[in-house]
Amino acid sequence: MGPDLDPETTPEEYRQRALLLADLGRYDEAAGEIAAGLSAAPDEPSLLTTLARIHLAADQPAEALAAAERAVAAAPEALTVLIVRAMALTDSRRYADAAQVASDILRRWPADAYAQRTGAALLSESHNGQEALNAAWNGVRVAPAEAEAHLVLAVVAARLQLFELAQRAYAEALDLDPAIGTAQNDVGIVRFERRRWAQALEGLADDAALPVTADEPPVDDGPYPEPFPRPYQAPDRPEPQTPPGYSSASWTGEPAVSRPRGPVLDSSAEEAGTFRRGAQIAANATLIAAVVSAAMSTASDGISRAWAALFGLIIVVGVTIWLKRSIPGPLSAALTRLRSSHRSLAVALYLSLAGPLLLPVYALVGGVIPLIVGMLLAAAATMVVLIRS
């Protein structure tokens, strides 16, 4: 049950409450605060971005991606929004899309310390290689006095099996901030990126021979293979303001993480719109392909049947791939939600995908009946979509 709405509470105050609750591992209650804020400001990018981070911290990538996509729609040029979207894409195993977003971040903010180190780490997660290593080096060059820049370099180097470089980068990170040694055990979303990179490095620690706990000091093998200038400390992202009377240092127990138990965002309308477009695309393409195949039969029955089979397969496969890429999370789960909340639209979608399957049937048996049936199914799907709309 979400918090009571207070007309005098601003969206930012709801967000600050959510940050404090998330810092205690109470992600369910934190999501409730964000839901209350979104009821007053449904398109507020900071609330949507914070919600995406809560879901990421709670290991709910599908929900995180839904919130991130909403945030991108509201603020497509915001750095923090793009970063959280790249994280959600990575955790949803959409690595190519995540790598594209990370590369865009690195290109658009070449002198921003936060953008460079985070973009490098995200690129390493989704498409590790020389580009990620170059970006990690640049992150250290831009902010040589920031421990997280060296932590990211250690992660990227370890993934590339450059273990000597990884050891030295991690040692430098610990020298700058000893708390890096226990960052993988942090809870909350204020330092979510730091915990993410520390956990990644912990998974690589056996191969890289890295000490990832504060009790085990790193081996100091000397400076980096090439020198790093340290002219200044670049500015980092602003920390959230702490309300009076609250001290994170007072929390000494082990927080029990409580994940959000239900969706905060109502994505059924957006999913229904995507399925509606998919049904329309499949139905219209089927009608066109059937007419073209029938016309080609007057010249050559064999060529007409061959092209009909190809048309049918392209329509079904193409629309299915488009739906999988357009809908966050598993397509099967989205179809289950569609059948429960929009039955008529589900019928239209299945009819539109059944229609093009009649084209390969026409290729096998010939005759105009399969083409006519396919066109009728496509027309019925279109009619149901129009009535449903």
Find the domain containing 192 and state its range.
11-229
- Give the mean pLDDT of 4-20: 79
Domain C-terminal end among 208, 229, 250: 229
**Do 171 and 288 fall into the same domain?**
no
**Do 292 and 208 fall into the same domain?**
no
* Summary mean pLDDT of the chain: 81
Report in angstroms the alpha-carbon separations of 47 from 10, 38, 69.
11, 7, 13
- Split at pLDDT 50, 70, 90, the class of 313 is very high
- Give the mean pLDDT of 216-242: 41
Instruction: Check residue 352 and give its pLDDT.
Output: 93
- Give the mean pLDDT of 241-259: 42
CATH number at residue 73: 1.25.40.10
**Do 130 and 190 fall into the same domain?**
yes
Please say if the pLDDT value at position 256 is more than 70: no
Domains held by the chain: number: 2
Domain C-terminal end among 229, 247, 282: 229
- Give the mean pLDDT of 248-270: 52
Encode burial over 21-55: b for 16+ CB neighbours within 10 A, e otherwise.
Answer: bbbbbbbbbbbbbbbbbbeebeebbbbbbbbbbbb
Residue pLDDT, tens place only, 152-189: 999 999 998 888 898 999 999 999 989 888 888 777 78
Domain C-terminal end among 207, 229, 251: 229
- Split at pLDDT 50, 70, 90, the class of 208 is low
**Do 77 and 218 fall into the same domain?**
yes
Q: Highest-confidence range of 38-47, 60-69, 229-238, 349-358, by mean pLDDT?
A: 349-358
Instruction: Check residue 290 and give its pLDDT.
Output: 92
Say if 238 falls within a structural domain: no
